[in-house]
Amino acid sequence: MKITLKDGSVKEYANSVSVYDVAADLSEGLARMACAGEVDGQVVDLRTVLEQDCRLNILTAGDKEGLQVVRHTASHVLAEAVKRLYPDAKMAIGPSIENGFYYDFESTPFSREDLDKLEGEMKKIIKEGKKLEKFTLPREEAIRLMEERGEPYKVELIRDLPQDAVISFYQQGEFIDLCAGPHLMSTKNIKAFKLISSSGAYWRGNSDNAMLQRIYGTAFNKKEELAAYLEHLEDIKKRDHNKLGREMELFTTVDVIGQGLPLLMPKGAKIIQTLQRWIEDEEEKRGYIRTRTPLMAKSDLYKISGHWDHYKEGMFVLGDEEKDKEVFALRPMTCPFQYYVYKASQKSYRDLPLRYGETSTLFRNEDSGEMHGLTRVRQFTISEGHLIVRPDQMVKEFKDCLALAKYCLDTLGVSEDVTYRLSKWDPNNKEKYVGTAEVWEETQGHIRQILTELEVPFTEEEGEAAFYGPKVDIQARNVYGKEDTMITIQWDAVLAEQFDMYYVDEHGEKVRPYIIHRTSMGCYERTLAWLIEKYAGKFPTWLCPEQVRILPISEKYMDYAHQVEAKLRENGILCTLDSRSEKIGYKIRETRLAKVPYMLVVGQKEEEEGLVSVRSRFAGDEGQKTLDEFIEAISKEIRTKEIRKEEVTEEVKKQ
């Protein structure tokens, strides 16, 4: 038997050997560090026996896949600790995830104090150095084992497995868990771990199921790596928009108003207003015309569009079809409304393309467990647009939509933080979609070709398309690593038929147009959340709700401070005047904490010579300037939407 190793060398064995045996044969040190093996591209246990020629890579915690095995074993150690301290808890699932692991339990909620106790118990289990042993059972014996151990969720999982599935378990001492693996050879190989938090989670992600308690943790091969990650988590907490946005008084939520219905406070509303005006002006430059359409419509409209059949569960429905003559629904999108704007008059081929834009407030009935801060809400506003085009115009217009999205991302300074995804239909679930397989394959092919021509790196994902067409989703991750769609551009070759939309071509014939559904920047609330986390609240000056704060050294210079304020306001600069009788050092510290880009300190010399002493977030003390000089510089920074970088000075570091 020939085993080809990662470096291309070949080991030959007369008899079958385990992955661990090969590691030990190569070196004792490698065997101690080994976590798993990769056999012909598949990650397997070190216990796996090799019986034929293959390619083998020995994985350690230095490999991503090896570290996942460490974390998976840590989740089993957590489960054993929970069963020791809380015997009545029922186990659900406990996988490794990108940054660690979690385990779900039917239990009362876990406090931070509970997690600390569980950490102590886990350390005992690791110190005991129990071997993990794998075994398999026939289906009925497996079910009986889990029933005897009082684990109903494990029984459900076994019953749902395919009839031909191999049902495997891992045992460490008295503890047994249903699991496919792979796992470490022993608990003692877990070197550094930490339980991070606990929260509620529905069984199998379905809100109709029981609410379980999920414990999140992480594990690393070295204590130094764990310490660095925990420091990273502290930075994340500081950037979390749900925390920082409230501290900065950008938004708030109120129980009596409802979950997923945030209140934008004056500062947050100002940022949204700035973004909205910018986007509307930019779209107008690019040939978009504005519409303003109702926030609700009769169910008849959504039945024509297909949303009633494909999306009703996600809508807020007003009325009962069995009792009421007319049933309405708050709109989850604007497209069918804009189609009727198009249909209000006959269109010629010369009229196309028509680019309709609308700042649209939409409503979607999100599950309570899905909502978070500003990123997932029930009412939100988007930079929505629908382009009605001739088929021969479709590719160019689609490229132009991508160019507009790229411009928006570049201006906001986030273009390096996104990924592009071609979201396709699922051919194995055709009832979810409208249109033929041929149309779907053709339109997906067009988008693929466009992205390839533009040299945009992208992935493809089945089942993520809209029910009427494929799309490009521009994705970004929040500080916790969760991915959200920020901008979407959709190719629609079918809804014009359903709405009887047409234009008259050069031969006098009626022809169906194509439609592009798109956002230029996406959801304003979600974008605000993204920018809070991106800049840790230190927004580019053009976006700041307070761009300058004027700080008079004492009451004597208040008149001059008011003159400075008036001149700044005349030039459209958002400023405030701190007129409190506090010491100047205190005012400066408070302004820094408020993340205001510029502060202008004014005293006797400034008043006598018409100057301002400039301090900024970017370079600290920038010295004295004439007021006109400062206004010219900041006005240019705002007008060009410059993203000024912080200079690394001792004063800036202190900020």
Q: How confident is the model at residue 6 (pLDDT cuts 50, 70, 90)?
A: confident
At residue 206, the pLDDT reads: 82
At residue 482, the pLDDT reads: 85
CA distances 397 to 282, 394, 409, 421, 508, Å, are 16, 5, 18, 19, 24
Taking alpha carbons only, the member of 171, 183, 177 closest to residue 158 is 177
Written as six digits, the tokens of 198 are 């606990």
Mean pLDDT, range 399-406, rounded to an integer? 97
Alpha-carbon span 614 to 602, nearest angstrom: 9
Contact 569, 550 (CB under 8 A): no
Mean pLDDT, range 92-98, rounded to an integer? 93
Mean pLDDT, range 217-241, rounded to an integer? 93
At residue 654, the pLDDT reads: 54
Sort strands 548-552 and 598-602 into parallel, antiparallel or unpaired.
Answer: parallel
At residue 252, the pLDDT reads: 96
At residue 290, the pLDDT reads: 97
At residue 56, the pLDDT reads: 93
Sort strands 418-424 and 471-477 into parallel, antiparallel or unpaired.
Answer: antiparallel
The DSSP line for 134-163 is: EEEE-HHHHHHHHHHTT-HHHHHHHHHS-T
> 230-256 pLDDT, tens per residue?
999 988 888 999 999 999 999 999 999
Alpha-carbon span 245 to 527, nearest angstrom: 12
Contact 529, 375 (CB under 8 A): yes
Alpha-carbon span 641 to 602, nearest angstrom: 27
- The CA-to-CA distance between both ends of the chain, in Å, stands at 64
> 459-488 pLDDT, tens per residue?
999 999 988 899 999 999 988 888 899 999
> 487-529 pLDDT, tens per residue?
999 999 989 998 999 999 999 999 999 999 999 999 999 999 9
> 100-143 pLDDT, tens per residue?
999 999 999 999 999 999 999 999 999 999 999 999 999 999 99
Residue 369 has pLDDT above 90, yes or no: no
Sort strands 96-97 and 100-106 into parallel, antiparallel or unpaired.
Answer: antiparallel
Residue 563 has pLDDT above 70, yes or no: yes
Taking alpha carbons only, the member of 402, 411, 367, 557 closest to residue 488 is 402
Q: How confident is the model at residue 431 (pLDDT cuts 50, 70, 90)?
A: confident
Phi/psi at 518 (5° precision) = -155, 160
Written as six digits, the tokens of 34 are 């080994």
Mean pLDDT, range 336-360, rounded to an integer? 96
Mean pLDDT, range 220-239, rounded to an integer? 92
Alpha helix segments (H runs only) across 266-419: 266-285, 299-305, 307-310, 335-343, 394-412
Mean pLDDT, range 339-349, rounded to an integer? 96
Contact 548, 634 (CB under 8 A): yes
Taking alpha carbons only, the member of 508, 486, 321 closest to residue 412 is 486
Alpha-carbon span 270 to 538, nearest angstrom: 15
Q: With left for phi above 0 and alpha for psi between -120 and 50, is residue 537 left, alpha or beta?
A: left
Mean pLDDT, range 62-76, rounded to an integer? 95
More confident residue, 637 or 208: 637
Taking alpha carbons only, the member of 629, 639, 357, 649 closest to residue 518 is 357
b/e map of 213-248 (b: 16 or more CB within 10 Å)? bbbbbbbbbeeebbeebeeebeeeeebbbbebbbeb
